[in-house]
Structure 1
Amino acid sequence: MGRVAIVGAGPCGLSSLRSFSQAEENGVQIPEIVCFEKQSDWGGMWNYNWRTGVDEFGEPVHSSMYRHLWANAPKECLEYADYSFDQHFKKSIPSFLPRETIRHYIVGRANKSNVRQYIRFNCVVRYIEFDQDDARFTLRYTELITGEDKLEHFDYIVVAIGHFAVPNMPHFDGIDRFIGRVIHSHDFRDARQFTGQRILVVGGGLSAEDIALQTYKFGAKSVTISYRTKSFNYNWPLEIEELPLLNRIAGNVVHFKDGSKRIIDAIILCTGYKHHFPFLTKDLQLVTANRLYPSQLYKGIFFKRQPKLAYLGMPKFYYSLPFFDAQAWFLRDVILGRILLPNAEECSKDMKTWREREKRLNGSFEGIDFQIEYARELLDATDYPHVDLDAAAAMFKSSQRHKQKNILEFRDKLFTSSLTGTNAVALPKGLRWIDAKEEEILYTD
């Protein structure tokens, strides 16, 4: 059965580990598994780290997590089918949760699954290549505590490091002479540092949306969102406005394509991330834009040119934690021999069908349906516990409608778990999300 290397102990890596532990609990013999995690603890992107740039070992800081982040989807859409929120917290809690509470839940299942035994912490993978003669991968890594470099061989590689660690950094005329601070959202840590300032947020995705709200929530004087393709068109408060993409900067004055200009104190680039895998040889690296179905991955998982190399969590996603489980269970069953991959021609045909379907999508609702159907195909092929995907789709869409109606209040909405039937409760003390600013609004006791 061989050896399996999992790179990363974030949500994707933990889903993969849990899939194997579930099989072992059911009496199935599993391969030898080694998970390499460069951080000192598990949780991946959900680990808040005050550091930016490099960590204590001089390694690039992986996490883009900021201190006061809250989930932008109801927890009822994030629920593991084998580990409910009720099971973890022993009480009903709100639908929208702060980052530490989500991490507590993710780690709770990992602890219960006893998967820590497979993880080597403070170990950074440096290089992976495939030996055609040996039909195995050679993996080199460094133990950061000792500084020792080591080499091992594996039959399968699972890349589970996500794609929110290497910023996409566009250039704008005059940005190098801007009188103020410029950061990428990767290095955004605490909105309080922007209190009383005039902020420019560049971008049109979820990071731009949320960081605009964060800086407003913690007292920015004004927030201008500069978009490239289309505006959010939310019912923003008066302090937040949207303008077309900037075209140049002069001192602290930013000029926009519609001819308008604003005096700005700080610029936050919410311009996305690159899929970046420098530890793999060039022939093994996934190259893709942020899309729902990466073009080089069969079933969104298996690298077309080398199917013993798998990538988890690479698509753009609406659905996250159970989505990672769907990929992990399918991958596990391929490794265990329960699912046989078709030949290269059939793989290409299947991938083309999904990509063509993706091209026809119009709007977020159709994107949600696309991803739900993709997850359904994976889950139906495995023994993953039943999850109501139709209910998840309905909740995603309902949340989107709430957001469009009132961007400041959508996180105050309450949903019902399709897994347990439990109704969510409001925040304590009558708080609204916009007023909940301190870490004590957690559910980790």
Structure 2
Amino acid sequence: MALSKEMTRICLIGAGPSGMSMLYHLAKMEEQGKCIPDVVCYEKQSNCGGLWNFDWRTGVDEHGEPIHGSMYRHLWTNLAKECFELPDYTFDHHFGKSIPSFTTREVTLDYLSGRWKTVNATKFVRLNTIVKNVVYNPDEDNFTVWARDQVEDKDLPSEQFSHIVVATGHFSVPNMPYFKGVETFPGRVLHSHDFRDAREFKGKELLVIGSSFSAEDISLQCVKFGAKSIVCSSRSGPMGFKWPEEIKEKPLLERIEGQTVFFKDGTFTEVDAIIYCTGYKHTFSFLPDNLRLQTENTLYPPNLYKGIVWIKTGNNKLMYIGMQNQYYTMTMFDVQSFWACRVILGEKTLPERDIMETDMSRWIQKLERVTSIPDGIDFQTEYVMDLCGDSGYQHNLDVKDIFQDLNRKRKESIITYKDNVFKSKFTGTVSCKHHKPFMSVFDDSYDAIVN
């Protein structure tokens, strides 16, 4: 079915990497002479880029809304850039030269922004505008959206859309499990969502709860910037790295008495601060129950055909981008967005519901066999490549060999793996080495990394 511009109107919620990939592809299609629908992207922050924007605030933003971002000042990517390099806009193209494989928040956002600027993708974005409510209207087969202009501090008139695309991410609402005695702990207690600068913990003894990438990275950051000692505690068991001597691992925290923390193996120690690295909740407060994705952090969320189309209600016109647990990041968001664009433009027809349900069941059965990080990398590679084939995406995004090599290097040495270099799949360029080892680099500005 050919696209009817009058009848097709997209509401895109979120202008982070996922949402901006969607806008990039729509703008490219427009450049190619295709008729694209009207699209409005609502973004609650004052800039595009989602979590890659650094906000010094914690708690609430300048408008009194919960802070979206979890970015901290000295963050480096825990993936080599060759794992998330976009094939039609490479790092070589953007920077004009080779840069190190591991980049910082400022460098990464500069790269992503460069791609969006090539097609003026930001022209669709309404900044400082928060979506408050979305309702599906079955009689009209469309959606009503209510939003609020945060700068003017006023509700906007409701608008009608044929499609909703949710690209708000799922790393903004912290998961905070309770441990007995935490309410009387005399030191600082925070979630990684509110972690901003490792220098705050110089000379401190810390407890880090969790075994995710954030637990790993924040522990290293704090040691790098002078923390005295760190105990990592998790439910899932030790992370298994060869930690520096300042970092020890313990089983799950059992209780807290004053500054003393007790673990399930009967051991205990005193700490000055507790950092929760316990993940996030998928939260979409602007959606009613019948439209809202409810899931744990998983490689294949339920009720999403191809991990994208919400099949429970909304006549297949509600889509989610970037809601998976992630090994692949930017490239997965990109092919998801391209696939969604083709569906909305009528260039790709969705199958009948029973076929979509069968396809979802097949992926969930595959997921049951994933028991390790290498398994997860293989699973998500297969998923990404399935979307490439199904959408007609013109590039081969399979970089599982780089992921697996990177995972081996992390296991060999957690403190030196960011000193390694990798080769771009798309240009063949081998990254240059940074002039200092990661644990000795304290200036992570754009100039320090790129120049």
Q: Classify the TM-score, shorter chain.
A: over 0.9
- Code of the aligned partner of 1:316: N
- Code of the aligned partner of 2:264: K
Q: How does 1:83-94 map to 2 (within 5 A)?
A: 83-94=89-100
Quick one: which of 4, 10, 13 aligns to 1:7?
A: 13
- The answer to whether 1:273 aligns with 2:280 is yes
Aligned twin of 1:254: 261
Aligned twin of 2:326: 317
- The answer to whether 1:107 aligns with 2:89 is no
Aligned twin of 1:189: 196
Aligned twin of 1:339: 348
Aligned twin of 2:437: 432
3-state SS, counterpart of residue 323 of structure 1: helix
RMSD: 1.0
Aligned twin of 1:241: 248
- Code of the aligned partner of 2:268: K
Shift of 1:81: 1.3
Shift of 1:384: 2.8
Shift of 1:34: 0.6
Shift of 1:442: 4.2
Q: How does 1:35-74 map to 2 (within 5 A)?
A: 35-74=41-80
3-state SS, counterpart of residue 370 of structure 1: helix
Q: Distance in 2 between matches of 1:387 and 1:67?
A: 34
Q: Deviations over 1:189-230 (max 9, x none)?
A: 000000000000000111111111111111100010001012
* Equivalent pair of 1:387/1:419 in contact (CA under 8 Å): no
Q: Deviations over 1:317-350 (max 9, x none)?
A: 1000011001001111110111111111111111
3-state SS, counterpart of residue 66 of structure 1: coil
Q: Give 5+ residue unaligned stretches, structure 2.
A: none
- TM normalised by structure 1 equals 0.98
Aligned twin of 2:421: 414
Q: Distance in 1 between matches of 2:448 and 2:47?
A: 20
Aligned twin of 1:164: 171
Q: Distance in 1 between matches of 2:237 and 2:30?
A: 49
- TM normalised by structure 2 equals 0.96
Q: Give 5+ residue unaligned stretches, structure 1.
A: none
- Code of the aligned partner of 1:15: S
4+ long deviations beyond 3 Å: 439-445
Q: Deviations over 1:258-313 (max 9, x none)?
A: 00001000000001100000101111000001000001111000111132000000
Q: Distance in 2 between matches of 1:131 and 1:404?
A: 51
3-state SS, counterpart of residue 224 of structure 1: strand
- Code of the aligned partner of 2:99: I
Q: Deviations over 1:368-410 (max 9, x none)?
A: 1110111111111234331341xx1000010100000000000
Shift of 1:95: 0.4
3-state SS, counterpart of residue 23 of structure 2: helix
Q: Distance in 2 between matches of 1:444 and 1:137?
A: 45
Q: Distance in 2 between matches of 1:24 and 1:275?
A: 33
Aligned twin of 1:119: 125
- The answer to whether 1:128 aligns with 2:128 is no
Q: Distance in 2 between matches of 1:383 and 1:348?
A: 22
- Code of the aligned partner of 2:400: A
* Equivalent pair of 2:100/2:449 in contact (CA under 8 Å): no
Q: Distance in 2 between matches of 1:171 and 1:361?
A: 29
The count of corresponding residues between Structure 1 and Structure 2 is 441
Q: Distance in 1 between matches of 2:450 and 2:393?
A: 27
Aligned twin of 2:406: 399
Aligned twin of 1:210: 217
3-state SS, counterpart of residue 118 of structure 2: helix
3-state SS, counterpart of residue 113 of structure 2: helix
Q: Distance in 2 between matches of 1:371 and 1:82?
A: 21
Aligned twin of 1:385: 394
* Equivalent pair of 2:385/2:397 in contact (CA under 8 Å): no
* Equivalent pair of 2:45/2:129 in contact (CA under 8 Å): yes
Identity of aligned residues (%): 45
* Equivalent pair of 1:82/1:385 in contact (CA under 8 Å): no
Shift of 1:21: 1.4
3-state SS, counterpart of residue 41 of structure 2: strand
- The answer to whether 1:180 aligns with 2:190 is no
* Equivalent pair of 1:104/1:444 in contact (CA under 8 Å): no
Shift of 1:444: 6.0
3-state SS, counterpart of residue 268 of structure 1: strand
Aligned twin of 2:359: 350
Shift of 1:23: 1.5
Aligned twin of 2:30: 24
Moved more, 205-214 or 19-28: 19-28
